[in-house]
Structure 1
């Protein structure tokens, strides 16, 4: 979460609000698990305070700390970087798991990703990814730099061929903040062997403040969200690759970048009713994907304009559709209307966009925090939501029926006893076998492996 977002939440008074759902919550789970599995409710019971003061979990659950910022990397390349953010887990050989973890480091970050030969894009960039290799018992076998010299690596997304697309949430040019190269790109990272992917920007996918990506496994189309900090806000993009069959390095072959236009809707925040549907969605070619002169969201998209939205963040593929999140919108920040979070579904076969979830203020403290942020789909059905805001920080579960329950609560106080503060959660993901939930605490940078009686099969 950026400092800008914290400032916006504080100005709007949103940090004390809980959140309620309206809309078809079951929509979020389409195509992800057997219908019988999705009916689980009630959660796993109350959270038990951790005597070690790291992570509160329900009875019967436990955790292993896999990595903490400042500790030595197993590779000997330097200390573990800070600002742990987006993450994904991939199956390795002999039951091993490869975790690829983003580090959302800006130019002033005190613990940068160490420069690594052959894996560094810009020596002055302090962001990047680290990769952990785990055995079948979540013991760390290796930890190394996977890409370095990038900037503000926030989220991303997995590819169907088992690599991670890490996204730079910045559009700083060379000469800004000491950078020697332009930033604002997507990079492909192979967690099992980072040298297979190197540090090559996927320039055809655009230079903007990237947040997350999702790939249509049927035709290779890549969908991208833009988390712009200022007005005009970000766009929702699709990238049509020249090599749609995929594979490591295939996205380097280029393609066409387009932005979504919803006719008659210049700002998605003005849509407030769940179920609102828009047909005939248009895709407009981006005039200058590299933003050589003008940031993409400022460019001229013709007489019909283009559709913007504040805080476009999470993005994932489910069933035959892509889902994306507008984390919040506030008039005080320049948005056309207020909301505390939206989840949208785009059906590419019907060219149809639907608002499926709206978040709104509520007084129930058991409900998720100010806005939806990092999310993942649990193997046994349901959604995991990382809380991102003020006060106590949680990972919440959401059932198909819209029931909300706590899964984890951060116990690391980075404030003071009189004015406590807890680091947000990020990068929640599950092991390929569904038996372990991996999640990051952003500050202090900590990666946890959480085990317990996860529901992974039929009831």
Structure 2
């Protein structure tokens, strides 16, 4: 997560020209985003939590690593990373990974209908460096190990059912996952400089115990048609990314988010946000900091990504200015928030509450710059719908 300079220097095929927007269907995010005025206006002064927000938004601290979650007896994990929210009656649950090795795992915080914290607990233990992951349509959390030949673990956000290791989803340096209920697949990113983009097709949708792991195959450019090929040996005895000739290489796969026939995923080595049009079976760039014209790129250190019901993408920075930036459907990119005084950290785990009124995220190493200094936040305000 802190290898951006090295990764950028080892980019594969990163200099190809982007094809014109006329190649693509007339949809949102049709061209690489450019800086502009965001939908929420300028950032204000830092609040008491050191967060700069637009007018009308407020923040609060939900949990701190190594300390009990307020109102509970549960001690929050170190290095909070990927996360997701789940409806829980009139309230909701926020699940968060722990990117430490050994131990890792994931925890959850429970909220009432008013947003009060009512509980916290462990949902996954005994795993390694759980970085990002993804939410399934059947309300489980896919927690991904960011280690060589790492696994995906399917966990229960309510902490009732035991977590299950999903071997069929492949062994590689997993980062994030995003479920596509239309094509009944799960997309997966790989966090290495010459990594690939995968999809897993379960034998039965809703059951990840068996299925077919496939890798995206394409040319060396940044846009155009793609195809998928079966990975012969998901066990990773031979690196998954090296098993299929012509597999497209991506420079450090990070966040992954699906909505409306599109899977957006990020690559940190070249500061790009990609979009895979699952209907047309094409890829293109939604953002590339090297293609920003006439000004300093507002989004660097591209990392975790999520989206809102308005079609806005929210992209977190690993380093950079410690921003979460918004990319609008009309291809404008602008800072949404900035965390001050935590330059040795990174922003992780952005996820919206089920009603879309609250955004959760963490500063993985907080003000201390150590995995024991993580802070998990909530931002509340007039998010557009």
* TM-score (norm. length: structure 1): 0.71
Alpha-carbon separation, structure 2, partners of 1:369 and 1:321: 21
* Uncovered stretches (5+) of structure 1, i.e. residues with no partner: 13-21, 31-39, 107-124, 173-183, 330-339, 414-420
Residue of structure 2 aligned with 1:298, choices 217, 242, 250: 242
Give the SS at the match of 2:41.
coil
Other-structure match for 2:140: 163
Residue of structure 2 aligned with 1:104, choices 96, 99, 103: 99
Alpha-carbon separation, structure 2, partners of 1:364 and 1:65: 33
CA offset digits 1:24-59 (Å, max 9, x no partner):
8984569xxxxxxxxx96432332223525322123
Residue of structure 1 aligned with 2:66, choices 64, 70, 73: 70
Give the SS at the match of 1:58.
coil
- Seen in structure 2, the aligned counterparts of structure 1 residues 323 and 408 have a Cα distance that, compared at 3 Å, is closer
Other-structure match for 1:243: 204
Other-structure match for 2:268: 327
Give the SS at the match of 1:204.
helix
Residue of structure 2 aligned with 1:222, choices 176, 182, 186: 186
The CA deviation at 1:360 is 3.0
Alpha-carbon separation, structure 1, partners of 2:307 and 2:73: 34
- Seen in structure 2, the aligned counterparts of structure 1 residues 323 and 60 have a Cα distance that, compared at 3 Å, is closer
1:195 matched to 2:174? The reply is: no
Other-structure match for 2:276: 345
CA contact (8 A) 2:79 2:364 kept: yes
Higher strand content, 1 or 2: 2
Residue of structure 1 aligned with 2:81, choices 61, 85, 88: 85
Please identify, of 316-325 and 59-68, the stretch whose mean Cα deviation from structure 2 is larger: 316-325
* Uncovered stretches (5+) of structure 2, i.e. residues with no partner: 11-19, 31-35, 367-373
CA contact (8 A) 1:27 1:356 kept: no
1:377 matched to 2:313? The reply is: no
* RMSD, matched Cα: 2.7
- Seen in structure 2, the aligned counterparts of structure 1 residues 130 and 28 have a Cα distance that, compared at 3 Å, is farther
Other-structure match for 2:369: none
CA contact (8 A) 2:217 2:247 kept: yes
Larger radius of gyration: 1
The CA deviation at 1:432 is 0.8
Other-structure match for 1:35: none
The CA deviation at 1:242 is 1.6
The CA deviation at 1:342 is 4.2
Alpha-carbon separation, structure 2, partners of 1:319 and 1:158: 16
CA contact (8 A) 1:211 1:226 kept: yes
CA contact (8 A) 1:376 1:428 kept: yes
Other-structure match for 2:45: 49
The CA deviation at 1:128 is 1.0
Residue of structure 2 aligned with 1:277, choices 203, 224, 227: 224
1:258 matched to 2:207? The reply is: no
CA contact (8 A) 2:82 2:97 kept: yes
* TM-score (norm. length: structure 2): 0.84
The CA deviation at 1:201 is 0.9
The CA deviation at 1:357 is 2.5
CA contact (8 A) 1:63 1:449 kept: yes
- Seen in structure 2, the aligned counterparts of structure 1 residues 167 and 91 have a Cα distance that, compared at 3 Å, is same
Give the SS at the match of 1:46.
coil
The CA deviation at 1:153 is 1.2
CA contact (8 A) 2:72 2:118 kept: no
Alpha-carbon separation, structure 1, partners of 2:28 and 2:266: 11
Alpha-carbon separation, structure 1, partners of 2:4 and 2:77: 22
Residue of structure 1 aligned with 2:116, choices 117, 120, 139: 139
Alpha-carbon separation, structure 2, partners of 1:70 and 1:25: 49
Alpha-carbon separation, structure 2, partners of 1:161 and 1:287: 28
Other-structure match for 2:171: 207
CA contact (8 A) 1:243 1:251 kept: yes
CA offset digits 1:38-81 (Å, max 9, x no partner):
xx96432332223525322123221121111121256645x322
CA contact (8 A) 1:66 1:139 kept: no
CA contact (8 A) 1:55 1:412 kept: no
